[in-house]
Amino acid sequence: MAACRICNNHYQEFISFGQMPIANGFLLPENFEQEYYFEMKVGFCTHCSMVQLLEQPDRELMFHEDYAFFSSLSQGQTIHFEKLANRLIKDYLCETDPFAVEIGSNDGIMLQNLAAAGIRHLGVEPSENVAEIARGKGINTICSFFDEELATRIIEQHGHADTISSANVICHIPYIHSVLAGVKKLLKQEGVFIFEDPYLGDIVEKVSYDQIYDEHVFYFSATSVKNMIAQHDLELFDVEHLDVHGGSMRYFIARRGSHQVTEKVRTLLANEKALGLELHETYQQLRRNIEHSRDQLVEILEKVKLEQGSPVVAYGATSKSTTVLNYCGIGPELIDFISDTTPIKQNKFSPGMHIPVKSPEDLEKKQPDYILLFAWNHMQEIMNKEAQYNARNGKWIVYVPEVKVI
Ligand code: SAH
Ligand code: TMP
Ligand code: ZN
Protein backbone atom coordinates (compact mmCIF):
# COMPACT_ATOMS: atom_id res chain seq x y z
CA MET A 1 0.00 0.00 0.00
CA ALA A 2 1.20 3.50 -0.80
CA ALA A 3 -0.31 6.99 -0.89
CA CYS A 4 -1.35 8.13 -4.37
CA ARG A 5 0.76 11.10 -5.54
CA ILE A 6 -2.36 12.65 -7.07
CA CYS A 7 -5.22 12.15 -4.62
CA ASN A 8 -3.46 10.87 -1.48
CA ASN A 9 -5.70 7.80 -1.20
CA HIS A 10 -4.15 4.38 -0.73
CA TYR A 11 -3.48 2.28 -3.79
CA GLN A 12 -1.95 -1.11 -4.47
CA GLU A 13 0.68 -2.48 -6.83
CA PHE A 14 -0.42 -4.76 -9.66
CA ILE A 15 3.04 -5.79 -10.84
CA SER A 16 6.63 -5.89 -9.63
CA PHE A 17 9.37 -5.99 -12.27
CA GLY A 18 11.91 -6.93 -9.59
CA GLN A 19 15.18 -5.12 -9.00
CA MET A 20 15.88 -2.47 -11.62
CA PRO A 21 18.91 -0.26 -12.25
CA ILE A 22 18.78 3.32 -13.62
CA ALA A 23 17.36 2.93 -17.16
CA ASN A 24 19.78 5.40 -18.75
CA GLY A 25 22.68 4.42 -16.46
CA PHE A 26 25.08 2.98 -19.05
CA LEU A 27 28.27 2.16 -17.17
CA LEU A 28 31.85 0.88 -17.17
CA PRO A 29 32.96 -2.38 -15.47
CA GLU A 30 34.67 -0.49 -12.62
CA ASN A 31 31.21 0.78 -11.61
CA PHE A 32 29.36 -2.56 -11.73
CA GLU A 33 29.78 -3.15 -8.00
CA GLN A 34 28.24 0.17 -6.89
CA GLU A 35 25.38 0.03 -9.38
CA TYR A 36 22.14 1.43 -7.90
CA TYR A 37 18.99 -0.76 -7.84
CA PHE A 38 15.41 -0.28 -6.69
CA GLU A 39 12.36 -2.53 -6.80
CA MET A 40 10.21 -1.34 -9.68
CA LYS A 41 6.56 -1.82 -8.75
CA VAL A 42 3.58 -0.31 -10.53
CA GLY A 43 0.19 0.41 -9.01
CA PHE A 44 -3.24 1.69 -10.01
CA CYS A 45 -5.27 4.12 -7.88
CA THR A 46 -8.95 3.19 -8.02
CA HIS A 47 -9.90 6.69 -6.74
CA CYS A 48 -8.32 8.89 -9.43
CA SER A 49 -7.33 6.22 -12.04
CA MET A 50 -3.64 7.13 -12.02
CA VAL A 51 -1.14 4.39 -12.84
CA GLN A 52 2.18 5.12 -11.15
CA LEU A 53 5.45 3.72 -9.82
CA LEU A 54 5.40 3.00 -6.11
CA GLU A 55 9.02 4.07 -5.73
CA GLN A 56 11.26 6.18 -7.92
CA PRO A 57 15.01 6.84 -7.55
CA ASP A 58 16.05 10.40 -6.54
CA ARG A 59 15.92 12.78 -9.49
CA GLU A 60 19.64 13.61 -9.28
CA LEU A 61 20.41 9.92 -10.00
CA MET A 62 18.56 10.20 -13.31
CA PHE A 63 19.00 13.78 -14.59
CA HIS A 64 22.51 15.20 -14.42
CA GLU A 65 25.51 16.37 -16.44
CA ASP A 66 25.95 12.92 -18.03
CA TYR A 67 22.33 12.42 -19.11
CA ALA A 68 22.38 9.92 -21.98
CA PHE A 69 19.28 10.91 -23.94
CA PHE A 70 19.80 13.42 -26.74
CA SER A 71 16.47 14.24 -28.39
CA SER A 72 17.91 15.51 -31.68
CA LEU A 73 19.53 12.18 -32.55
CA SER A 74 16.23 11.05 -34.00
CA GLN A 75 15.28 12.46 -37.38
CA GLY A 76 11.68 11.46 -36.88
CA GLN A 77 11.47 13.41 -33.62
CA THR A 78 13.14 16.43 -35.21
CA ILE A 79 10.31 16.59 -37.75
CA HIS A 80 7.70 15.88 -35.08
CA PHE A 81 8.83 18.86 -32.98
CA GLU A 82 9.14 21.16 -35.97
CA LYS A 83 5.44 20.48 -36.62
CA LEU A 84 4.58 21.16 -32.97
CA ALA A 85 6.49 24.47 -33.07
CA ASN A 86 4.63 25.53 -36.22
CA ARG A 87 1.34 24.64 -34.57
CA LEU A 88 2.21 26.70 -31.48
CA ILE A 89 3.15 29.65 -33.68
CA LYS A 90 -0.02 29.40 -35.76
CA ASP A 91 -2.56 28.81 -32.99
CA TYR A 92 -1.17 30.11 -29.71
CA LEU A 93 1.79 32.44 -30.26
CA CYS A 94 0.18 34.95 -32.58
CA GLU A 95 -0.27 37.94 -30.23
CA THR A 96 2.37 40.70 -30.09
CA ASP A 97 5.61 39.67 -28.38
CA PRO A 98 4.49 36.20 -27.31
CA PHE A 99 6.49 34.19 -24.78
CA ALA A 100 6.88 30.39 -24.90
CA VAL A 101 8.25 28.19 -22.12
CA GLU A 102 9.27 24.56 -22.52
CA ILE A 103 9.71 22.18 -19.59
CA GLY A 104 12.45 19.59 -20.27
CA SER A 105 13.73 21.20 -23.46
CA ASN A 106 16.71 18.81 -23.70
CA ASP A 107 19.04 19.79 -26.58
CA GLY A 108 16.57 22.31 -27.99
CA ILE A 109 14.87 20.02 -30.50
CA MET A 110 11.57 21.95 -30.29
CA LEU A 111 12.69 25.43 -29.20
CA GLN A 112 15.22 25.75 -32.04
CA ASN A 113 12.22 26.33 -34.31
CA LEU A 114 10.80 29.09 -32.11
CA ALA A 115 14.25 30.67 -31.78
CA ALA A 116 14.60 30.65 -35.58
CA ALA A 117 11.20 32.38 -35.87
CA GLY A 118 12.44 35.09 -33.47
CA ILE A 119 9.96 34.18 -30.73
CA ARG A 120 10.77 34.97 -27.11
CA HIS A 121 11.29 31.61 -25.41
CA LEU A 122 12.79 29.87 -22.42
CA GLY A 123 13.79 26.24 -22.00
CA VAL A 124 13.96 24.66 -18.54
CA GLU A 125 16.35 21.72 -18.57
CA PRO A 126 18.05 20.24 -15.47
CA SER A 127 20.53 17.97 -17.32
CA GLU A 128 23.52 20.24 -17.83
CA ASN A 129 25.08 18.46 -20.82
CA VAL A 130 21.97 18.63 -23.01
CA ALA A 131 21.13 22.16 -21.78
CA GLU A 132 24.60 23.22 -22.91
CA ILE A 133 24.00 21.86 -26.43
CA ALA A 134 20.79 23.90 -26.62
CA ARG A 135 22.60 27.05 -25.48
CA GLY A 136 25.20 26.41 -28.18
CA LYS A 137 22.37 26.63 -30.72
CA GLY A 138 21.36 30.04 -29.34
CA ILE A 139 18.39 28.77 -27.32
CA ASN A 140 17.71 30.49 -23.98
CA THR A 141 17.93 27.69 -21.43
CA ILE A 142 18.02 27.59 -17.65
CA CYS A 143 19.50 24.52 -16.05
CA SER A 144 16.91 23.74 -13.34
CA PHE A 145 14.07 21.44 -12.40
CA PHE A 146 10.71 23.07 -13.10
CA ASP A 147 8.42 23.50 -10.08
CA GLU A 148 6.27 26.19 -8.48
CA GLU A 149 9.23 28.13 -7.10
CA LEU A 150 10.98 28.24 -10.45
CA ALA A 151 7.74 29.42 -12.10
CA THR A 152 7.71 32.41 -9.75
CA ARG A 153 11.30 33.26 -10.69
CA ILE A 154 10.48 32.99 -14.41
CA ILE A 155 7.54 35.40 -13.99
CA GLU A 156 9.81 37.91 -12.22
CA GLN A 157 12.40 37.79 -14.99
CA HIS A 158 10.33 37.25 -18.14
CA GLY A 159 6.65 37.79 -17.36
CA HIS A 160 3.77 35.38 -18.00
CA ALA A 161 3.72 32.80 -20.78
CA ASP A 162 1.38 32.30 -23.72
CA THR A 163 2.34 28.65 -23.99
CA ILE A 164 4.01 26.14 -21.73
CA SER A 165 4.81 22.96 -23.57
CA SER A 166 6.45 19.77 -22.49
CA ALA A 167 7.12 16.47 -24.23
CA ASN A 168 8.05 13.28 -22.44
CA VAL A 169 8.76 15.13 -19.22
CA ILE A 170 5.59 15.62 -17.16
CA CYS A 171 5.27 11.86 -16.65
CA HIS A 172 8.79 12.01 -15.11
CA ILE A 173 7.91 14.37 -12.27
CA PRO A 174 6.61 12.97 -8.94
CA TYR A 175 6.12 16.46 -7.40
CA ILE A 176 3.47 17.01 -10.04
CA HIS A 177 1.24 19.24 -7.94
CA SER A 178 4.05 21.76 -7.56
CA VAL A 179 4.54 21.65 -11.34
CA LEU A 180 0.82 22.22 -12.00
CA ALA A 181 0.64 25.05 -9.48
CA GLY A 182 3.67 26.60 -11.22
CA VAL A 183 2.12 26.14 -14.66
CA LYS A 184 -1.08 27.84 -13.53
CA LYS A 185 0.82 30.81 -12.07
CA LEU A 186 3.05 31.21 -15.10
CA LEU A 187 0.33 31.06 -17.76
CA LYS A 188 -1.37 34.20 -19.01
CA GLN A 189 -5.14 34.30 -18.43
CA GLU A 190 -5.80 32.67 -21.83
CA GLY A 191 -2.50 30.79 -21.96
CA VAL A 192 -2.27 27.08 -22.76
CA PHE A 193 -0.31 24.20 -21.29
CA ILE A 194 0.35 21.48 -23.86
CA PHE A 195 2.07 18.28 -22.89
CA GLU A 196 2.54 14.86 -24.43
CA ASP A 197 3.60 11.56 -22.92
CA PRO A 198 3.37 7.84 -23.72
CA TYR A 199 -0.30 6.93 -23.54
CA LEU A 200 -1.63 4.36 -21.06
CA GLY A 201 -4.23 3.15 -23.57
CA ASP A 202 -1.43 2.13 -25.97
CA ILE A 203 0.56 0.44 -23.20
CA VAL A 204 -2.48 -1.64 -22.21
CA GLU A 205 -3.45 -2.51 -25.79
CA LYS A 206 0.07 -3.23 -27.10
CA VAL A 207 1.45 -4.68 -23.84
CA SER A 208 4.33 -2.24 -24.32
CA TYR A 209 5.51 -2.70 -20.77
CA ASP A 210 8.97 -1.38 -21.71
CA GLN A 211 7.50 2.15 -21.42
CA ILE A 212 7.65 1.46 -17.69
CA TYR A 213 11.03 2.47 -16.26
CA ASP A 214 12.48 4.60 -13.47
CA GLU A 215 12.07 8.00 -15.16
CA HIS A 216 8.38 7.46 -15.92
CA VAL A 217 6.62 7.81 -12.61
CA PHE A 218 3.15 8.32 -14.18
CA TYR A 219 1.33 6.52 -17.03
CA PHE A 220 -1.34 9.00 -18.08
CA SER A 221 -4.77 8.62 -19.60
CA ALA A 222 -7.21 11.46 -20.37
CA THR A 223 -9.24 10.23 -17.40
CA SER A 224 -6.39 10.49 -14.90
CA VAL A 225 -5.11 13.77 -16.38
CA LYS A 226 -8.59 15.28 -16.10
CA ASN A 227 -8.83 14.21 -12.44
CA MET A 228 -5.32 15.46 -11.67
CA ILE A 229 -5.67 18.95 -13.16
CA ALA A 230 -9.17 19.45 -11.71
CA GLN A 231 -7.45 19.95 -8.34
CA HIS A 232 -5.88 23.11 -9.82
CA ASP A 233 -9.06 24.27 -11.51
CA LEU A 234 -7.52 23.55 -14.88
CA GLU A 235 -9.42 21.93 -17.74
CA LEU A 236 -8.55 19.47 -20.50
CA PHE A 237 -9.94 21.13 -23.63
CA ASP A 238 -8.40 19.10 -26.45
CA VAL A 239 -6.45 15.90 -27.07
CA GLU A 240 -4.48 14.47 -29.95
CA HIS A 241 -3.24 10.93 -30.30
CA LEU A 242 0.33 10.74 -31.68
CA ASP A 243 2.27 7.88 -33.25
CA VAL A 244 5.58 8.85 -31.62
CA HIS A 245 7.18 6.85 -28.80
CA GLY A 246 4.98 3.88 -29.52
CA GLY A 247 1.75 5.82 -29.02
CA SER A 248 1.50 9.09 -27.12
CA MET A 249 -1.26 11.50 -26.18
CA ARG A 250 -1.02 15.27 -26.38
CA TYR A 251 -3.14 17.06 -23.78
CA PHE A 252 -4.27 20.69 -24.23
CA ILE A 253 -4.97 22.34 -20.89
CA ALA A 254 -6.10 25.82 -19.82
CA ARG A 255 -7.87 27.63 -17.01
CA ARG A 256 -11.35 26.20 -16.54
CA GLY A 257 -13.84 27.87 -18.88
CA SER A 258 -11.23 29.77 -20.92
CA HIS A 259 -11.29 27.41 -23.94
CA GLN A 260 -14.09 25.43 -25.53
CA VAL A 261 -13.84 21.70 -24.75
CA THR A 262 -13.79 19.70 -27.99
CA GLU A 263 -15.84 16.64 -28.86
CA LYS A 264 -12.54 14.70 -29.10
CA VAL A 265 -12.10 14.96 -25.33
CA ARG A 266 -15.56 13.48 -24.66
CA THR A 267 -14.98 10.70 -27.19
CA LEU A 268 -11.61 9.79 -25.72
CA LEU A 269 -12.99 9.68 -22.17
CA ALA A 270 -15.75 7.36 -23.38
CA ASN A 271 -13.21 5.15 -25.22
CA GLU A 272 -11.15 4.87 -22.06
CA LYS A 273 -14.19 3.72 -20.15
CA ALA A 274 -14.85 1.09 -22.80
CA LEU A 275 -11.22 -0.05 -22.63
CA GLY A 276 -11.57 -0.44 -18.85
CA LEU A 277 -8.83 2.03 -17.90
CA GLU A 278 -10.75 2.84 -14.71
CA LEU A 279 -10.96 -0.79 -13.61
CA HIS A 280 -8.65 -2.73 -11.35
CA GLU A 281 -9.20 -5.94 -13.43
CA THR A 282 -7.66 -4.31 -16.52
CA TYR A 283 -4.31 -4.13 -14.74
CA GLN A 284 -4.50 -7.69 -13.46
CA GLN A 285 -4.94 -8.74 -17.09
CA LEU A 286 -2.09 -6.45 -18.14
CA ARG A 287 0.18 -8.21 -15.65
CA ARG A 288 -0.71 -11.60 -17.13
CA ASN A 289 -0.08 -10.27 -20.64
CA ILE A 290 3.31 -8.89 -19.61
CA GLU A 291 4.34 -12.22 -18.08
CA HIS A 292 3.31 -14.01 -21.26
CA SER A 293 5.26 -11.56 -23.44
CA ARG A 294 8.37 -12.08 -21.27
CA ASP A 295 8.15 -15.88 -21.49
CA GLN A 296 7.74 -15.84 -25.27
CA LEU A 297 10.66 -13.46 -25.84
CA VAL A 298 13.01 -15.53 -23.69
CA GLU A 299 11.90 -18.69 -25.51
CA ILE A 300 12.72 -17.22 -28.94
CA LEU A 301 16.10 -15.90 -27.85
CA GLU A 302 17.07 -19.20 -26.23
CA LYS A 303 16.08 -21.07 -29.37
CA VAL A 304 17.94 -18.77 -31.76
CA LYS A 305 21.05 -18.17 -29.71
CA LEU A 306 21.50 -21.26 -27.54
CA GLU A 307 20.00 -23.97 -29.78
CA GLN A 308 20.81 -22.65 -33.27
CA GLY A 309 23.96 -20.80 -32.22
CA SER A 310 23.06 -17.73 -34.32
CA PRO A 311 24.52 -14.36 -33.28
CA VAL A 312 21.92 -11.89 -32.00
CA VAL A 313 22.52 -8.16 -31.86
CA ALA A 314 20.06 -5.72 -30.29
CA TYR A 315 19.16 -2.43 -32.01
CA GLY A 316 19.00 0.71 -29.83
CA ALA A 317 20.26 0.89 -26.25
CA THR A 318 16.99 2.54 -25.30
CA SER A 319 15.89 3.35 -21.78
CA LYS A 320 13.00 0.99 -22.48
CA SER A 321 15.39 -1.90 -23.12
CA THR A 322 16.60 -1.72 -19.51
CA THR A 323 13.18 -2.91 -18.36
CA VAL A 324 13.00 -5.73 -20.90
CA LEU A 325 16.53 -7.00 -20.26
CA ASN A 326 16.34 -6.92 -16.48
CA TYR A 327 12.76 -8.15 -16.14
CA CYS A 328 13.28 -11.02 -18.60
CA GLY A 329 16.79 -11.79 -17.31
CA ILE A 330 18.37 -11.42 -20.76
CA GLY A 331 22.14 -10.97 -20.56
CA PRO A 332 25.29 -11.33 -22.70
CA GLU A 333 24.67 -15.09 -23.05
CA LEU A 334 21.64 -14.31 -25.24
CA ILE A 335 22.68 -11.02 -26.89
CA ASP A 336 26.14 -10.39 -28.32
CA PHE A 337 25.92 -6.61 -28.05
CA ILE A 338 23.59 -3.66 -28.45
CA SER A 339 24.16 -1.27 -31.34
CA ASP A 340 23.46 2.41 -30.68
CA THR A 341 24.20 5.71 -32.40
CA THR A 342 24.68 7.68 -29.14
CA PRO A 343 28.43 8.24 -28.57
CA ILE A 344 28.20 8.37 -24.74
CA LYS A 345 26.47 4.98 -24.61
CA GLN A 346 29.03 3.30 -26.88
CA ASN A 347 31.81 1.23 -25.28
CA LYS A 348 29.85 1.13 -22.05
CA PHE A 349 27.62 -1.66 -20.72
CA SER A 350 23.86 -1.82 -20.37
CA PRO A 351 22.41 -1.12 -16.90
CA GLY A 352 21.95 -4.24 -14.78
CA MET A 353 22.56 -6.99 -17.35
CA HIS A 354 25.89 -5.53 -18.55
CA ILE A 355 25.61 -6.24 -22.26
CA PRO A 356 28.26 -4.32 -24.26
CA VAL A 357 27.01 -1.31 -26.23
CA LYS A 358 28.75 -0.79 -29.56
CA SER A 359 28.45 1.43 -32.60
CA PRO A 360 26.38 0.86 -35.76
CA GLU A 361 29.70 0.18 -37.55
CA ASP A 362 30.19 -2.85 -35.29
CA LEU A 363 26.73 -4.07 -36.26
CA GLU A 364 27.65 -3.64 -39.92
CA LYS A 365 30.78 -5.75 -39.39
CA LYS A 366 28.98 -8.45 -37.43
CA GLN A 367 26.29 -9.13 -40.05
CA PRO A 368 24.11 -11.08 -37.59
CA ASP A 369 21.20 -13.29 -38.66
CA TYR A 370 18.93 -11.81 -36.00
CA ILE A 371 18.42 -8.32 -34.62
CA LEU A 372 16.29 -7.73 -31.54
CA LEU A 373 14.54 -4.41 -32.12
CA PHE A 374 14.57 -2.34 -28.94
CA ALA A 375 14.01 1.03 -30.67
CA TRP A 376 10.67 -0.28 -32.05
CA ASN A 377 9.14 3.16 -31.72
CA HIS A 378 11.48 4.32 -34.52
CA MET A 379 10.61 1.32 -36.71
CA GLN A 380 10.00 3.22 -39.95
CA GLU A 381 13.18 5.27 -39.72
CA ILE A 382 15.17 2.12 -38.92
CA MET A 383 13.68 -0.01 -41.71
CA ASN A 384 14.62 2.70 -44.22
CA LYS A 385 18.14 2.83 -42.82
CA GLU A 386 18.60 -0.94 -42.72
CA ALA A 387 17.33 -1.74 -46.21
CA GLN A 388 20.53 -3.71 -46.90
CA TYR A 389 20.07 -5.98 -43.89
CA ASN A 390 16.51 -6.64 -45.01
CA ALA A 391 17.66 -7.26 -48.58
CA ARG A 392 19.95 -10.08 -47.40
CA ASN A 393 17.03 -11.56 -45.48
CA GLY A 394 18.14 -10.56 -41.99
CA LYS A 395 15.50 -11.30 -39.35
CA TRP A 396 14.05 -8.94 -36.78
CA ILE A 397 12.84 -10.10 -33.39
CA VAL A 398 10.10 -7.79 -32.13
CA TYR A 399 7.98 -7.92 -28.97
CA VAL A 400 5.41 -5.12 -29.38
CA PRO A 401 2.48 -5.54 -29.92
CA GLU A 402 3.35 -9.25 -29.91
CA VAL A 403 6.48 -11.34 -29.78
CA LYS A 404 7.46 -12.53 -33.25
CA VAL A 405 10.24 -12.91 -35.80
CA ILE A 406 9.79 -10.96 -39.05
N1 SAH B 1 11.42 16.97 -24.50
C2 SAH B 1 12.47 16.12 -25.00
C3 SAH B 1 13.26 15.43 -23.87
C4 SAH B 1 12.56 14.35 -23.13
S5 SAH B 1 13.65 13.50 -22.01
C6 SAH B 1 11.90 15.10 -25.96
O7 SAH B 1 10.70 14.85 -25.97
O8 SAH B 1 12.69 14.51 -26.70
C9 SAH B 1 13.15 14.15 -20.46
C10 SAH B 1 13.84 15.46 -20.14
O11 SAH B 1 13.20 16.03 -19.00
C12 SAH B 1 15.30 15.31 -19.77
O13 SAH B 1 16.07 16.14 -20.61
C14 SAH B 1 15.35 15.70 -18.29
O15 SAH B 1 16.56 16.30 -17.92
C16 SAH B 1 14.16 16.64 -18.18
N17 SAH B 1 13.54 16.82 -16.83
C18 SAH B 1 13.38 15.92 -15.85
N19 SAH B 1 12.76 16.47 -14.79
C20 SAH B 1 12.49 17.75 -15.10
C21 SAH B 1 11.88 18.86 -14.43
N22 SAH B 1 11.39 18.77 -13.18
N23 SAH B 1 11.80 20.05 -15.08
C24 SAH B 1 12.27 20.18 -16.33
N25 SAH B 1 12.86 19.17 -17.03
C26 SAH B 1 12.98 17.98 -16.42
P1 TMP C 1 14.23 6.35 -27.65
O2 TMP C 1 13.48 5.11 -27.97
O3 TMP C 1 14.15 6.70 -26.21
O4 TMP C 1 13.92 7.46 -28.59
O5 TMP C 1 15.79 6.02 -27.83
C6 TMP C 1 16.27 5.56 -29.05
C7 TMP C 1 17.67 4.99 -28.88
O8 TMP C 1 17.96 4.20 -30.03
C9 TMP C 1 18.76 6.03 -28.77
O10 TMP C 1 19.75 5.58 -27.84
C11 TMP C 1 19.36 6.08 -30.18
C12 TMP C 1 19.13 4.68 -30.69
N13 TMP C 1 18.90 4.61 -32.11
C14 TMP C 1 19.83 3.94 -32.91
O15 TMP C 1 20.83 3.42 -32.41
N16 TMP C 1 19.61 3.90 -34.26
C17 TMP C 1 18.53 4.49 -34.85
O18 TMP C 1 18.39 4.42 -36.07
C19 TMP C 1 17.56 5.16 -34.00
C20 TMP C 1 16.36 5.80 -34.61
C21 TMP C 1 17.79 5.18 -32.65
ZN1 ZN D 1 -5.22 8.59 -6.73
Q: Mind listing the pLDDT tens digit for each residue in 382-399? A: 999 999 999 999 999 999
| Among 62, 63, 128, 165, residue to substitute to test ligand 1 (most atoms within 8 Å of Cβ) | 63
Contacts 24+ apart (CB under 8 A), 139-147: 139/105, 139/108, 139/111, 139/112, 139/115, 140/115, 141/105, 141/108, 141/111, 145/59, 145/63, 145/173, 146/103, 146/104, 146/173, 146/179, 146/182, 147/175, 147/178, 147/179, 147/182
On whether both 184 and 288 belong to a single domain, the answer is no
Number of domains forming the structure of the chain: 2
- The 10s digit of each residue's pLDDT in 313-371 is 999 999 999 999 999 999 999 999 999 999 999 999 999 999 999 999 999 999 999 99
- Tell me the CA–centroid distance for residue 74 and ligand 2, in Å: 7
pLDDT value of residue 75: 87
- Tell me the CA–centroid distance for residue 375 and ligand 2, in Å: 5
CA atoms within 13 A on the CB side of 93: 25
Q: What is the DSSP letter of 159?
A: -
pLDDT band at 377 (very low <50, low <70, confident <90, very high): very high
Q: Give the number of whichever ligand sits closest to the CA of residue 43.
A: 3
Q: Is residue 68, in this structure, part of any structural domain at all?
A: yes
On whether both 180 and 301 belong to a single domain, the answer is no
CA distance 32 to 21: 11
Q: Is residue 92, in this structure, part of any structural domain at all?
A: yes
Instruction: Look at residues 198, 233, 257 and tell me which one is the last residue of a structural domain.
Output: 198
- The 10s digit of each residue's pLDDT in 157-213 is 999 999 999 999 999 999 999 999 999 999 999 999 999 999 999 999 999 999 999
pLDDT value of residue 198: 98
Beta-bridge mates of residue 315: 339, 373
Residue 369 buriedness (CB in 10 A; 0-12 / 13-18 / 19+): middle
Residues with Cβ within 8 Å of residue 171, at least 6 apart in sequence: 197, 198, 216, 217, 218, 219, 220
Determine which residue's CA is closest to atom 8 belonging to ligand 1: 71
On whether both 388 and 289 belong to a single domain, the answer is yes
Instruction: Look at residues 162, 181, 198 and tell me which one is the last residue of a structural domain.
Output: 198
Q: Give the number of whichever ligand sits closest to the CA of residue 24.
A: 2
pLDDT band at 117 (very low <50, low <70, confident <90, very high): very high
Q: What is the mean pLDDT of the chain?
A: 97
Instruction: Look at residues 174, 198, 222 and tell me which one is the last residue of a structural domain.
Output: 198
Q: Is residue 348, in this structure, part of any structural domain at all?
A: yes
* CATH code, domain with 363: 3.40.50.720
CA distance 48 to 149: 26
| Among 73, 79, 215, residue to substitute to test ligand 2 (most atoms within 8 Å of Cβ) | 73
Whole domain around residue 382: which residue ranges? 282-405
CA distance 67 to 234: 32
What kind and span of H or E run contains 313? Answer: strand 312-315
The set of protein residues with a Cβ atom below 6 angstroms from ligand 2 is 73-74, 316-319, 340-342, 375, 377-378, 381-382, 385
- The 10s digit of each residue's pLDDT in 260-279 is 999 999 999 999 999 999 99
- Tell me the CA–centroid distance for residue 142 and ligand 2, in Å: 26
